[in-house]
Amino acid sequence: MDAFATDFHRGPAAEETSAPTQAPARGKTRRSAAAAGRTRVKVAMLGFVAIYGAIAGKLVYLGLKGPEHSNTLGAAIVQSSPRPDLLDRNGEVLATDIKTSSLFAEPRRILDVDEAIEALSSVLPDMREPSVRHKLKSGAGFVWLKREITPEQRFRIHRLGIPGIGFLDENKRFYPGGGMASHVVGHVNVDNQGIAGIEKYIDDEMNLNELHKLGIVADRGLKARKLSLDLRVQHVVRDEIAAAKERFHAVAAVGIVLDVHTGEVIAMSSLPDYDPNNPAEALEKDRMNRATAGVFEMGSVFKTFNSAMALDSGRVSLNDSFDARGGLAFGGQRISDFHGKNRILSVPEIFIYSSNIGSARMALKVGPQGQYDFFTKIGFHSKIKTELPEVALPLWPKRLSEVSSATQSFGHGISVSPMHTAAATIPLMNGGKMIPPTFFVRSRAEADALAVQVVKPETSEKMKYLFKLNGQIGSGTRADVAGYRVGGKTGTAEKIENGRYASNKRFNSYLAAFPIDDPQYVVLAVLDEPKAEKEIGAATAGLNAAPTVAAIVKRIAPMLNVPPRFDLAPATLASN
């Protein structure tokens, strides 16, 4: 009982004893909950700060570093950097830059490739090509989709608002004259880099390709380059050789005009040509530059150089005569004349009657070594030294012999370019100075500094006489123009086909200078495989190439400020 009582009374006592300890526990709990809440708020705030900080940091990073494709975009802009304008000698524009837009994509930003292709193809149907899908799925930072789109195409694509699709403003080369001077000016690739003609020369000379890669040239003005071409003369030459090509049904034609005192190329045209605004045309083999990049057996125009060689050697004079009867045999080979006179001919007669036999005998009197040395002096054993990259190496016999010397005297067995032929005529018309041809403007003083005396002045005078004589009473009479005295030499060469000379395929030319009493310009016209007109029945150079030169001179002489003269005495021939 006492024990029960004791326990009974302890209960309340225990309760009274424990009650004061429960109140602080509940307060502590409330304080802990509040602290935990504050912690959760702080954690949430820190989370938001971290998230937005990361976003802000990424934006700053992107702003400073740029997206991964930034370097690629920069490289694309460098690749289409500006180029200097090309002008003719009178300031007419031959080539210039215009602005154009190009379409690119950032595949990593493309949300839906199929949707992007569907939208783009509504403006550019070729966007359905498998290659486009491959590009857009590549995950690359930058890819070209289409270069040089039109303003309307850009506007319509821009309105589509496709993420990851953009435009770059680039420089595109434009040639106002189209094919007028295509083989001289050349063309560029899609990145505005010169790959042919003077365009390529300028890139190489100025090291533009390397500068473009380094970004040094971008957005920097470049001084226009003035060429030696006279666009008016270029138009006439191209027009007249095109007319002759059509009239005589030739497969190709070449026309060249050179200044005999400076070596400047005033005009050069090779047909068929191409439009540099559509450079893919240049890949067609028929459109090659025959003027400098093709070599041909030039035929009897080589009697010009054979005569100069013989006269300059001192072993032959204008008063000498050679036997042109019968023929000239070398083993199984026999040299004969076309419409031969079958008599002894003087040196001037050999020239105006275009005697193969007489020319060969003159060459043999000088000797194979003398001929080789002379042809080397006037450039027939090396590439033309000029700015145009497209130049061919001549072909000539590597072994000296009398038979090769004889055939080369009338242009067989040696192949050179038409520009070689025209350039080698310069010293024969200007007093003996060899001046390398140039496609840039050059003064007489600059030309004199480059000139090399290759023949005696008196040899030059004799060659002017022979040109004049042939223009008045020889095969070049159809090239004469009243008041301008066009002198020159015809060449009718049979072309080689399957290793043999084909009598029905000719390479005709007329090599001329005017005014022949005081030559200022060399003119060369070439017709490849001309056909005979029905009413004439023959297709020799005197009937087609010579009249072509006359048509050219008649139109360009006034443009070049060459005054006509009608008070000059005709050339006379003293024959045996």
What are the residue numbers of the active site? 300
CA distance 267 to 255: 8
**387, 264 contact by CB (below 8 A):** no
Name the residue with tokens 């020369």.
Answer: 201
Nearest of 424, 416, 367 to residue 393 by alpha carbon: 416
DSSP letters along 311-343, please? HHHTS--TT-EEE-SS-EEETTEEE--TT---S
Return phi, psi of residue 296, to 5°: -145, 155
Q: What end-to-end distance do the CA atoms of the chain give, in Å?
A: 181
For residue 65, give the 3-state DSSP assignment: helix
Structure tokens at 530: 């001309």
Burial of 510 (0-12, 13-18, 19+ CB in 10 A): buried
- DSSP letter at 576 equals -
Compute the half-sphere exposure of residue 137: CA atoms within 13 Å on the CB side of its CA: 9
Return phi, psi of residue 230, to 5°: -105, 110
Structure tokens at 20: 């004061």
Q: Which H/E stretch holds residue 523?
A: strand 521-528
